Structure 1
Amino acid sequence: MSEGTNSPKSGKSIFLLGLAVLVIAGLAVWVFWPQPRYLEGQIEADRVNIASKYPGRVKAIHVREGDAVTVGQLLVEIDSPEADAKMAQVQAMVSGATALRDKAQTGARSQDIARAKAGWLAAQEEARLAQTTAGRMERLFRDGVIPQQRRDEVQTMAAASAQKVLAAKAQYDEAQEGARTEDKAAATAQLGEAEGARAEVQAVIAETRLSAPVAGEISTRVIEEGEVLGAGFPLLVITRTDLPWVTFNLREDFLHGLKVGQEFTARVPALSNREVRFKVSLIAPLGDFATWRSTRDLGSFDLRTFEVRARPVEAVEGLRPGMRVVLPESDLTAG
């Protein structure tokens, strides 16, 4: 009776014991079986900071965060009264220098030439009269009519009249020939200096209208209209959404010979786990802050962390900074 009664219970116990052994064995296999390690990266993109080269006050902002911009699109206008005043000053300098240059190049006016000629002819007549008077006084001196002092005075006046003729002739010739070559060169150089100053101010004024140097998306805006800016103050940040890349931070023992130019395929969860082909463009060590320190005194060593960057082989629509990228470690090292 006891054997018949205990037999089913013994069989059930054996079954449960075997089931428990199988479960424990399965758990042990699941726990200790090598599991694939997944790497997780993040999409980044090149960024361009837009800053002012000169101080001023923000006059107008034509974009907001999230706006797409194209190359050359006007972003910010800055009001600079100092630059406007300087432009008025250099414009006056250019006008004056231009007038001097034109005067040197054109020469004397016809009226000036006629006046110089008349002065020369008048000097000739005065010299002729002075010479005649000197001859008459010489005869009177010989006859004893006038003293020697009077004769000497008349002769001196005749000599001075002759010199006046030469001076008047030189003025007439100068009026006909115009300015000297050196004067023309000096006037041209002065005009060039004034035009250079104007170009400098024009460059300053051009910098008060900031345009987009690259295409992308406005990701940061740190100013508002009416604020006063200093030189070099950052205004906007443009993110190059057309040039994304993924970055991984890998401990050096995970690199396994990874090389620049190597390609791999990863999934982007935000794009419905779309598979994207990437190409490694940079492998660089991070700073000491990212070093994995050994916790053992013997038998181990510190490990550095490397930044691995990779760019999509082809353009991927919808790929944006901040999206995660995942892939098994073996896929990265296998290429």
Structure 2
Amino acid sequence: MKPQLKNRLTLLAIVAAALAAGAYAWTQLRATGPGENFASGNGRIEATEVDVATKLGGRVQDILAQEGDFVDAGQLLARMQIDTLEAVHAEAKARLQQSVAAQASAQAQVAVRESDKQAAQAVLAQRQSELEAAQRRLARSQTLVREGAASDQEVDDDRARERSTQAAVVAARAQVNAAQAAIDAARTQATGARATVAAAEATVARAKADIDDSALTAPRSGRVQFRLAQPGEVLGGGGKVLNLVDLSDVYMTFFLPETVAGRVALGSDVRIVLDAAPQYTIPAKVSFVASTAQFTPKTVETASERQKLMFRIKAQIDPQLLQKHLRQVKTGLPGVAWVKLDAETPWPANLQTRLPE
């Protein structure tokens, strides 16, 4: 065998041995971790998703965002046609004006009825004065008759006058009572008119709110993931127009066997290594540990044989860290999450935090 060929074969053998050793080491690292104080589970990068949807059914007029766009909370993303809503709003405002006019008329009626009552009270006071005068005159006549200074006819006339005046007082008091009843009725109508105005104002406000809700804004900052409708489409109430991903709420969900999950505490340190970028190690914190176990999902890989019961763990990535690398955040990427079971144990060199520049 030629020396040159022999050297090449030797080099290939060394490379093959190195690759085999590396593959074995990687397999062992994934299987057992860097020590008994560490555990791992596979998962995918996820983020909170929010659908931008219509409140009312209608036709989509404009969509101002494209897939992949970064948007801020409150930013206008789409508009719905509002011709019908504007007509409803105009009608509601017209009815409100009618109600306000009716309320003013009812208040005026209250004032009129109160004036009528004052007039009736004045008449009553006059009739009461006349009654007092008639009663005094009758008393004098009766005294004069006993003294022989007046005739019985005069007494009879005074008595008739006194009784007539009493009847006039009763009639005047009835007029006052009737005026008070009219005031109460007018006030009731005024109260009803005020309620009608309030209802009309609420209708106007509701129509205005429907118009405002037809301008679809971003409920939170994030990235547009999917465009689910196109301008001109007619959507029902709750129809989805866009799907947003909140890049400030990114996490990885993974599963650990019941023998390990009991040692995982909220706030425990986690390191995430993505399959697409194994050169980076992303720090995270345990934000959720399931209180009950579940059967092993099909997508979960375990170190040895499949465990029957697993606990779901959620590792949250720091929002401030995400803001620094916002445009590099990708959801759906698979990877491995390593969790430290003992807070005093340092991370091994291969799991120290390493982030892109």
What's the counterpart of residue 207 of structure 1? 213
Equivalent residue of 2:104, what SS?
helix
Report the Cα distance in structure 1 between the residues aligned to 2:51 and 2:194, rounded to whole angstroms.
42
2:296 and 2:202 map into 1 onto residues whose CA distance is: 51
1:54 maps to 2:56: yes
Look at both structures and tell me which one has the larger radius of gyration over its CA atoms. 1
Count of residues in Structure 1 that have an aligned counterpart in Structure 2:
242
TM-score, normalising length from structure 1? 0.60
TM-score by length of 2: 0.56
CA offset at residue 210 of structure 1? 1.1
Asked if 1:307 is matched to 2:317, the reply is no
The 2-side partners of 1:287 and 1:89 are apart by 57
SS in 1 for 2:225: strand
Of 317, 320, 325, which residue of structure 1 is paired with 2:330? 320
C-alpha contact (below 8 Å) 1:249/1:307 kept by paired residues:
yes
Identify the match of residue 252 of structure 2 among 231, 246, 266: 246
Q: Deviations over 1:112-147 (max 9, x none)?
A: x9xxxxxxxxxxxxxxxxxxxxxxxxxxxxxxxxxx
Structure 2 unaligned segments of length 5 or more: list them.
Answer: 1-19, 32-39, 116-171, 300-304, 344-357
User: How many angstroms does 1:245 deviate by?
Assistant: 1.0
CA distance in 1: counterparts of 2:293 and 2:65, whole angstroms: 36
- Report runs of 4+ in structure 1 exceeding 4 Å deviation: 106-110, 268-272, 285-289
Question: Aligned pair in 2 of structure 1 residues 333, 319: CA closer, same or farther (>3 Å)?
Answer: farther
Structure 1 residue 183: Cα displacement: 2.8
Q: Which amino acid aligns with 1:217?
A: R
SS at match of 1:94: helix
Aligned to 1:91: 93
What are the within-5 Å matches in structure 2 for residues 151-300 of structure 1?
A: 180-253=186-259, 255=261, 257-268=263-274, 273-284=279-290, 288=295, 290=297
How much does 1:42 deviate? 2.3
Q: Deviations over 1:65-111 (max 9, x none)?
A: 1111111111111114442332232222111111111233356999x
Query: Cα deviation per residue 1:32-51 (whole Å; 9 max; x = unaligned)?
Result: 9x922254432211111111
- Shift in Å, 1:306: 3.0
Q: Which residue of 1 aligns with 2:153?
A: none
Per the alignment, residue 36 of structure 1 pairs with 29
State percent identity of aligned pairs.
26
Matched residues in 1 for 2:238 and 2:62: separation? 18
User: 1:287 offset after TM fit, Å?
Assistant: 5.4
Distance (whole Å) between structure 1 residues aligned to residue 298 and residue 335 of structure 2: 23
